[in-house]
Amino acid sequence: MHKGYNTHNPLYSLLSIRTRSGFAFVCFESPRLSVMCYIIRVTKSRTKTSISDAVAIDGHRLQPYQGAADGIDTTRLHHIDPAKTSQLPTRHPADSFSYRGFMTKGYTQSRLSSEEQNFYAEHGYLLAKSVFSRDEAAHFHNEAHQIARRLQAASIEGVSNQGWAAGAKITDLPRQLLHCHNVQYHSAAFSRLICDPRLTDRAADIIGPNIQLHHSKMFIKPPAKGAPFPMHQDFPYFPHQHHTMIAAIIHFDDAPIEKGCVRVVPGSHKLGPLEHLHDGGHHLPIDEYPITEATPCPAEAGDVLFFSYLTIHGSGLNESSEARTTLLLQLRDPADLPTVVTHVSRGQGMILHGIDPLANSGPSPDSALRLKVAPCT
């Protein structure tokens, strides 16, 4: 049920067009420039007019009215005292709409603390704990495994692979990785997840108010043979002008060290782009950058690991008896343009927070560069 719209408040205008059948279309305009629309069913008798039902245009049903005095009794619409609207969550300055939908669920912004922001600035990574509940993580875990099963059943090429060929330099054991790009095209659960403000508000505290999706990919590292990732920066995969790109790895199950959790080299984002080897995946020399010496980031279901695309990272083999299931999002400031047209994918360009200042800018070298289609890697 929508709350906070008091039609007795002169700040709101009430437009009511009643029809003979007793329906009215009502539009409440708020001082915050949000427009709320309801269709209400009006019951008329000789002595009174009452609202018997009201449905918001977005499908939310308001409580039926229990009788009313003369005229339309709107007392049941009084849920929040307008004098206390300062208690409502403020909209993000970069967002063109208020967080109206979330107000009804007690939404509050999910910000990084100043300690967390300082930690990220200093070390180039941050493990945000319990961003999602374990129940939510279990739900996404099932969605991810169902996608993998559907793709495998349809014999889609590349869903199951050995990970990067360079992984063979790390282990002689069998290696396997189940993976899928752009999961938001496979399941609506992931479309909702990638826009979830608990995730995007935190990312905005790292990148800035505007956040654009570069790509998403889920990884399932199967038990006993989940493929390792040699240490690397993500920069060589999709270089950008201003290095705003970050990874956000959402954990759908616990990822202790033995499951091959992600490892990072703290502070390495300050080194800038490094020379990589380009055999079997862009990676740093295995001997100079052993995975075991990097800092492990063991995580629990629901945690999100953020790191810069300049932060050196990798992960070990999953030697445990359980799969490790994650969704990795690459996110950037939309004004940060790629320097090479590469790694362009179907889901690229979606705005997850704020605005795209370059959207609808017509033909420009920037938008052409950003949107030109090249093979997806």
**Can you give the binding site for ligand AKG, defined by CB under 6 A?**
219, 229, 234, 262, 313-315, 326, 328
Determine the residue with CB nearest ligand AKG. 315
CA distance 131 to 198: 6
Report the nearest approach of ligand AKG to the CB of residue 50 (Å): 59
Residue nearer to ligand AKG on the CB measure, 64 or 273: 273
List C-alpha distances in Å: 39 to 19, 31, 62, 67, 350. Answer: 12, 21, 10, 18, 32
- The token duo for 26 is 């009502």
Smallest distance from the beta carbon of 255 to ligand AKG, in angstroms?
8
Hey, how many other C-beta atoms are within 10 angstroms of the C-beta on 366?
Answer: 12
- CB of 377: closest distance to ligand AKG in angstroms? 11
Minimum CB–partner distance for residue 308 and ligand AKG (Å)? 12
For ligand AKG, give the closer residue by CB, 104 or 182: 182
Nearer to ligand AKG, 207 or 227 (CB): 227
Provide, rounded to whole angstroms, the least separation between the CB of residue 287 and ligand AKG: 19
Q: Which residue lies nearer to ligand AKG by CB, 234 or 253? A: 234
Spatial contact of 54 and 38, defined as CB atoms under 8 Å apart: yes
Give strand pairing partners of 176: 226
Q: Which residues does 163 contact at the CB level (< 8 Å), separation at least 6? A: 175, 176, 177, 227, 228, 229
CB of 135 to ligand AKG, least distance (A): 23
CA 133/CA 139 separation, integer angstroms: 10
CA distance 305 to 307: 7
For 194-249, the DSSP string reads HH-HHHHHHHHHHH-S-EEEEEEEEEEE-TTTBPPEEEE-SGGGS-BSS---EEEE
289 secondary structure, DSSP code: S
Residue with smaller CB distance to ligand AKG, 132 or 238: 238
**DSSP string covering 58-103:** TSPEEPPP----SS---GGG--S-GGGGGGSPPPPTT-SS--HHHH
Which CB, 326 or 348, lies closer to ligand AKG? 326
Measured from the CB of residue 323, what is the shortest distance to ligand AKG in angstroms?
12
Coil vs helix vs strand at 51: strand
**Residue whose CB is less far from ligand AKG, 50 or 233:** 233
For ligand AKG, the closer CB: 187 or 216:
216
Q: How far is the CB of 309 from ligand AKG (least distance, A)?
A: 9
